[in-house]
Structure 1
Amino acid sequence: MMQAGLFDWQTRFEQLDNSGDPLVKLNEIVNWEQFCKTLETVRDKERKSNAGRKPFDVILMFKIMILDSLYNLSDDQLEFQIKDRISFMRFLGLSLDDTVPDAKTIWLFRQQLTEAGLIEKLFKQFDEFLRPNGFSAKKG
């Protein structure tokens, strides 16, 4: 089996675009940076030390929550599908070399959002990007 080159990946992305990948459209219409201020409140706790891995970007983690909502996957399946599906990786801005949040990290982030009472607020804000563009979030 031959190793995939840059043009192979470009061709695959073009095929996904031509197939109408809805995640590409989401990235085009949603201003993800507008969620940062709200999401950062979950991370306001000061770290006890600089040991260990740095926390994942809050936008990345929120996008994972969007995938969870759209595709109705368990945390274990989310982790697997992010590693397996090119469309998910591209939506999240991940390359094959990037570390993917594990199921426990996904669960913990959702828990933090829930405890902070932010889930409904964030998804309402997300929906405000969808409606003017003729979209509605539907669970998979």
Structure 2
Amino acid sequence: MDQLSFFDLNDRLAQISKIGDPLEVLNEIVDWSKFDGVLLEAKAKDLTDRRVKGHAGRKPFSLRLMLKVFVLQSLYNLSDDQMEYQIKDRLSFMRFLDLGLNGTVPDA
């Protein structure tokens, strides 16, 4: 199997756009930064409700990324396991979430 090049990936994404990627349209319509304040407030409240000790473990994913994951999960009615699989499998999901092919994907 031939190795995929950067241009091959861009060509494939361009083809997906040409066909009409609803997630690309959603990303253009929604200003996701408008949610940042509310997400930070919710995270702060969650941290005060729980006693978090230390900063061990993997760095958490951005709140905006996780919001967009929940949007996808709701739109496509996916379980956590299926959401993880679809993010890894679908270029349109990766683009919507601004993840590259080698990006770390939230696990189920």
Q: Give the TM-score, by structure 2 length.
A: 0.90
Give RMSD over aligned pairs: 1.2
Aligned residues: 103
1:112-127 alignment to 2 at 5 Å? none
Secondary structure of 2:92's aligned partner: helix
Counterpart position of 2:99: 94
Aligned residue identity for 2:66: M
In structure 1, runs of 5+ residues without a counterpart are: 104-140
Q: Give the TM-score, by structure 1 length.
A: 0.70
Q: Deviations over 1:2-48 (max 9, x none)?
A: 10101101100110000100000111110000001111123211742
Distance in 2, matches of 1:11 and 1:96, equals 15
Distance in 2, matches of 1:56 and 1:23, equals 20
Distance in 2, matches of 1:94 and 1:27, equals 14
List 4+ stretches of structure 1 deviating above 3 A: none
Q: Deviations over 1:94-119 (max 9, x none)?
A: 0111111111xxxxxxxxxxxxxxxx
Identity %: 55
Counterpart position of 1:36: 36
1:50-69 alignment to 2 at 5 Å? 50-69=55-74
Distance in 1, matches of 2:107 and 2:10, equals 27
Counterpart position of 1:72: 77
